[in-house]
Amino acid sequence: MSRLLFLLFVATQCPLLFGQDVYFHPNGNSSLCPNDSPCLTLDEYMCSTEPTPFSVGSVFYYLPGTHSLNSSIDVVRRLNISFQGIGEMKEGPHETVLESPVVIQCAKDVTVAFAICDNIQIGNLTFKGCGRVFNSDSNTFTSSAICTSYSVNVTLQYLSIQDSPGGALATVEVSNCHIIFSSFYHNNHDGSPNNESSTVTVMFVSLIRSGSFTKFVMNHTNITHNRYIGLRFDNSQNKYNTSIHLNCLYTANNSVANVFVKSSTNLYDLFVTGLKTTGSLYGLVLYHDTTLDNEHSYSPSIYMTNCFVSFNKLVGINIASFGSFSGTFHLNSSTLSHNSGISGSALFINIDPFANKQLHIMVHNVTFDRNTISEATYETPIIAIFSGKSVVISNCNISNNEGSGLAITDTYVTFYGINIFHNNLAYKGSGIFMISTSFLFLAPGSILRFTDNHASNSGGAINLQINDDTHKYFYFENNTADIAGSVLYGGATSKCLQGLSIISSGPRKVCFCDDTATPDCSLKSLTASATPGESVPFIVAVVGQHDNTTTGTVSVSIGTRTPSNHNISSAVCINLTQEVTVEGSDPDKMTINVTLTDFETNFFQPPLTINVNVNPCLPGTYLSQQSQVCECDDNILSFTTDCNGVTATVTKEGISWLGVYENCTAINDECPYDYCIHSSITLPLSDPNRQCALNRSGLLCGKCKEGLSLMLGSNKCGDCSNDYLALLIPFSLAGLALVVLLIALNLTVTVGTINGLLFSTNVVKIYQPLFFGLDNFP
């Protein structure tokens, strides 16, 4: 009977079982209760619905006033649960706090927990004194005032959590969580030495729900005056991508760190916009120890835009990356000011030097102003970067700081745009302090401006520290490598023995080589002359650290044409060529650019250049507007079997004659007599004599070569020496004999016999090759 009465009471007082709204009135004050809905105190409801309170599909409204919560709330496996306070938010105990007129005051060790739920909404509520004292035997997040775990679609808006002895809020494996217009103030005040709980804890450990993506969003939220860490992310799952968005957060005066992001996986992205973090030891900490295998080969992106980091006591932004982390950190349009510390008081970056993948650092349009040092040491920078192999700084202003503006160790930094170092004070290197294993690169058109900086010791603008100690710890003999680095490949080798491929590394730049096949990296430009279509030869080598030869891919380009890539697979100087094409407004000059194709190195060095003076096309050729190279005239092509327009060289056969005569192209479709070679022959148009036979030359091969004479009774030219003068004797005797013969035979001109004999002789001579097959018939 008693059990029946209890069920009847639940059915009448707790209509949420049927999806209706339920109202809670503050202790002893039911005057604001609506007439048509159930209305009771929170404790009455908790007692009447044990062990399964807050069932599916209802909205629980809290009327203005203070509601006592004397026992913990545990909601498990529920759908569409909504806790809503009634009334407008007002200013709380601190200027950073907005609180609701609805206050839920918890008794000692009372918490609110949601587990394996879908669609949780909590709004317009203030929780005070909820949570438990830290217990080292349990998880840190279980002491939080509100904890949601393994749930989906959680929305918290206009929520205020204050005065919790432990953490304020914990979300564990929550997919799609939104926290909007909320505040967390004066929480985690349990001062036990082992208390490492954070005010807001967000954990991604091992997602149990299906899907490939989860999202966490926190907008317009204040986390202030809490003990230990204000906002902490712990991402150790390696199954799904997690997207974290922090927009317009104000985090201040949390005792150790305002924001702390820890990850052991690459599967996440972090987008921070409008963050203000101030008054802690660390403003923002990004700690990456990537120990999990990245199944998806994902490279995370960390973007910080329009952020203000100030008045932190050790480091403004602290980045530590260990293991294989291949993402990108981009700090854009932000201000870091009035931070104090020992090293890297504004920005401290420490990257694992032995990782096979590295974090890419990009700092753009950031102001570092009035940051100071808390302890006077010799090397105390405002920005400190260790082992960064891909760091880009562009359009930054580093001014009015106490300490070196930038300090780099084993780091490669490339500057873009205009970067200003102004009025910085340091012991050494007021603008830049660098260790000898570091390198500075300036992109084309970039400027580093150093003004009014002062160092009390050395390096008013830049100080380069070089270790002069030399110790011999290694002995090398007869070590070889087929590609590069017969002794050593990679590493920081500034103090090692120099020598081409003996010590090498990955590609850093490309250099011209001299005639002895030795790289000359001081030579940045060459000059050459070429005809359009002609290939310009040059010798280059890919070099690594300290200009030692290595391997890589060289890109060669001219004008707007697609670059050609050449894989240099041996650590030696290589002969390359580039065809010259003519385009643009200045057809008399072209530039060939030579650079590396590697992403990591192509911005470390301006391209090598070859300035080409373009010669006009040779006679008999013209500049084609389509191919942009020299081609043969159409009238020459009809008489040749092959024609090279660049060199004006033709291949022909037959009886035609062609060539350049007095800078004009002359063509005759029939070469006279047997003056020309009739078989296939290759000749330059500038030397038409090569097509002449019988030692002839000139236009149409009509004369003998210089120094030769026409041979008697032949078209052939030959060398007539003085020995031929002896022929005058027999010819003189023959002449006398001919006169005697003419007289004896009475042969006169009038008879016509002589004319007939002379005519017949001439005819036979003309057709000598036809009649006799001989070249000469004297």
Question: Residue 475 in 3-state DSSP?
Answer: coil
What is the percent of the chain with per-residue pLDDT over 70, rounded to a whole number?
A: 82
Structure tokens at 278: 């101030």
| Distance from C-alpha of 579 to C-alpha of 595, rounded to nearest angstrom | 17
The DSSP-derived string for 45-71 is HHHHSTTS-S-TT-EEEE-SEEEEE-S
* Residue 678 token pair: 């009739």
Distance CA 199, CA 60 (A): 26
408 in any annotated domain: yes
CA–CA dist 38, 57 (Å, integer): 15
Q: Note the pLDDT of residue 778.
A: 39
Task: Give per-residue pLDDT as tens, 604-624.
Answer: 578 899 999 999 988 888 888
Residues linked to residue 245 through DSSP beta bridges, in sequence order: 217, 271
More confident residue, 589 or 668: 589
Take residue 298 and report the two structure tokens written for it.
């994902």
Tell whether 688 and 754 lie within a shared domain: no
Say yes or no to pLDDT of 305 above 60: yes
Query: Does residue 712 share a domain with residue 735?
Result: no
Please check the confidence at residue 397 and state whether its pLDDT lies above 80.
yes
H helix or E strand, kind and range, residue 538: strand 535-543
Whether residues 307 and 401 share a domain: the answer is yes
- Cross-strand pairs, 540: 512, 574
Return d(Cα 683, Cα 733) in angstroms, integer.
48
Q: Which residues, in sequence order, are CB contacts of 391 under 8 Å at separation 6+? A: 349, 360, 361, 362, 363, 385, 408, 411, 412, 413, 414
Is the same domain home to 543 and 678?
Answer: no
Rounded CA-CA distance 679/656 in Å is 11
pLDDT of residue 754: 66
Q: Is the pLDDT of residue 165 over 70?
A: yes
The 10s digit of each residue's pLDDT in 286-300 is: 998 876 555 557 788
Where do we find the tokens 């006033």? 65
Q: Is the pTM of this model over 0.75?
A: no
pLDDT of residue 627: 86
Domain annotation covers residue 400: yes
Token pair for 223: 């986390």
Q: Tell me if 448 is assigned to some domain.
A: yes
As a whole number, mean pLDDT of residues 375-399 equals: 87
Domain with 383 in it:
294-468
The sign one gets for the Cα dihedral 725, 729, 732, 734 is negative
Res 551: pLDDT: 86
The yes-or-no verdict on residue 747 having pLDDT over 80 is no
Q: Tell me what pLDDT residue 1 has.
A: 35
pLDDT for residue 498: 45
Shared domain check, 358 and 310: yes
**Where residue 137 falls among pLDDT bands split at 50, 70, 90?**
low
At residue 161, the 3 state secondary structure works out as strand
State the chain's mean pLDDT as an integer: 83
Verify that 657 and 595 share a domain, yes or no.
no
| 348 CB neighbour count, 10 Å cutoff | 25
pLDDT band at 270 (very low <50, low <70, confident <90, very high): very high
At 103 the pLDDT is 94
Asked whether 64 and 101 are in contact (CB, 8 A), the reply is yes
Q: Which parts of 300-345 are beta strand (E)?
A: 301-305, 308-310, 315-323, 328-332, 335-337, 340-341
Secondary element (H or E) of residue 7? helix 2-13
Max CA distance (Å), the chain: 179
Q: With 80 as the cut, is the pLDDT of residue 195 above it?
A: no
Residue 136: predicted pLDDT: 58
479: pLDDT strictly greater than 90 = no
Query: Measuring CA to CA, how many Å separate 401 from each of 165, 337, 378, 397, 453?
Result: 39, 9, 15, 11, 10
Beta carbons of 125 and 73 less than 8 angstroms apart: no
Helix or strand holding residue 512 (H, E): strand 509-513
Q: What single-letter amino acid sits at 748?
A: T
For residue 55, is pLDDT > 70? no
Flag whether pLDDT at 140 surpasses 70: no
Give 113 or 730, the one with higher predicted confidence.
113
Q: Is residue 359 part of a domain?
A: yes
* Together in a domain, 300 and 384: yes
Rounded Cα distance, 362 and 61, in Å: 48
Residue 300 included in any domain: yes
Q: Return phi, psi of residue 444, to 5°.
A: -55, 130
| SS3 of the chain: helix, strand, coil, percent, to 5 | 10, 45, 45
Summarised one tens digit per residue, pLDDT across range 554-568 is: 999 888 788 899 998
Stretch 509-513: mean pLDDT = 91
As given in the structure block, the two tokens for residue 272 are 């921070």
| Domain stop point among 468, 501, 527 | 468
740 lies in some domain: yes
pLDDT for 399 equals 96
Q: Which two tokens stand for residue 661?
A: 């005569």
One-letter amino acid for residue 662 of the chain:
E
Report the half-sphere exposure of 95 (CA within 13 A, side-chain side). 2
- Residue carrying the six token digits 């009465």: 5
Q: How far apart are CA 54 and CA 78, in angstroms?
A: 8
AA letter at 268: Y
**551: Cβ contacts below 8 Å, ≥ 6 apart:** 483, 484, 507, 542, 568, 569, 570, 571
Q: Does residue 260 have a pLDDT over 90?
A: yes
Residue 550 CB coordination number (10 Å): 25
What's residue 492's pLDDT? 54
Selection from 258, 153, 152, 156 nearest residue 199 by Cα: 258
Q: What is the 8-class DSSP label of residue 642?
A: E
500: left (phi over 0), alpha (psi -120 to 50) or beta: left
Lowest mean pLDDT among 83-97, 538-552, 573-587, 720-734: 720-734
Distance CA 602, CA 227 (A): 47
Q: Are residues 441 and 588 in the same domain?
A: no
Interatomic CA distance for residues 654 and 198, integer angstroms: 97
Q: Residue 8: enclosing H or E segment and its boundaries?
A: helix 2-13
- Assigned token pair, 10: 């639940």
Strand ranges inside 220-281, DSSP E: 222-224, 229-235, 241-247, 250-252, 257-263, 268-273, 276-278
Q: What is the mean pLDDT of residues 408-432?
A: 92
Final residue of a structural domain among 599, 614, 629: 614
pLDDT over 70 (residue 117): yes
DSSP 314: S
- Which H or E element spans position 5? helix 2-13
pLDDT at residue 777 in the model: 39
Most confident of 148-157, 729-738, 741-750, 752-761: 148-157
What is the structure's pLDDT at 396?
Answer: 97
Task: Calculate mean pLDDT across residues 433-451.
Answer: 88
Integer Cα distance of 266 and 295 in angstroms: 9
Higher pLDDT, 550 or 275: 275
Kindly report the number of other CB atoms within 10 A of residue 274's CB atom. 17
Two structure tokens written together for 649? 């060289």
The number of folded domains in the chain is 4
Cα–Cα separations (whole angstroms), residue 239 to 243, 293, 436: 13, 10, 42
Q: pLDDT tens across 1-52, in order?
A: 333 333 333 334 444 444 568 888 887 777 788 877 788 888 888 776 655 5
| pLDDT value of residue 191 | 66
Is the sign of the CA dihedral 696, 697, 699, 702 positive or negative?
negative
Q: How far apart are CA 535 and CA 493, in angstroms?
A: 38
d(CA 755, CA 778): 20
**Residue holding tokens 């504004």?**
346
Q: CA angle, corner 174, sides to 170 and 178, nearest 5?
A: 80
Q: Are residues 318 and 431 in the same domain?
A: yes
* pLDDT tens per residue, range 311-352: 999 999 999 988 767 789 999 999 999 999 888 899 999 988
776 pLDDT higher than 50: no
Query: Is 311 in contact with 279 (CB distance < 8 Å)?
Result: yes
Query: What pLDDT is attached to residue 749?
Result: 59
Whether residues 421 and 388 fall in one domain: yes
Give the lowest-confidence range in 126-135, 500-509, 674-683: 500-509
Residues 6+ apart with CB under 8 A from 709: 717, 718, 719, 720
pLDDT band at 53 (very low <50, low <70, confident <90, very high): low
Higher-pLDDT residue of 278, 735: 278
What are the angstrom distances between the C-alpha of 162 and each of 144, 188, 191, 226? 11, 9, 16, 9
| pLDDT at site 146 | 94
pLDDT in tens, 211-258: 567 899 999 999 999 988 999 999 888 777 889 999 999 999 999 999
Within this chain, do residues 424 and 566 fall inside the same structural domain, yes or no? no
Residues of the chain with pLDDT > 90, as a percent, come to 37
In this structure, is residue 658 part of a structural domain? yes
- Residue 463 and residue 498 share a domain: no
Task: Identify the sign of the CA torsion 10, 12, 18, 24.
Answer: negative
Higher pLDDT, 483 or 693: 693
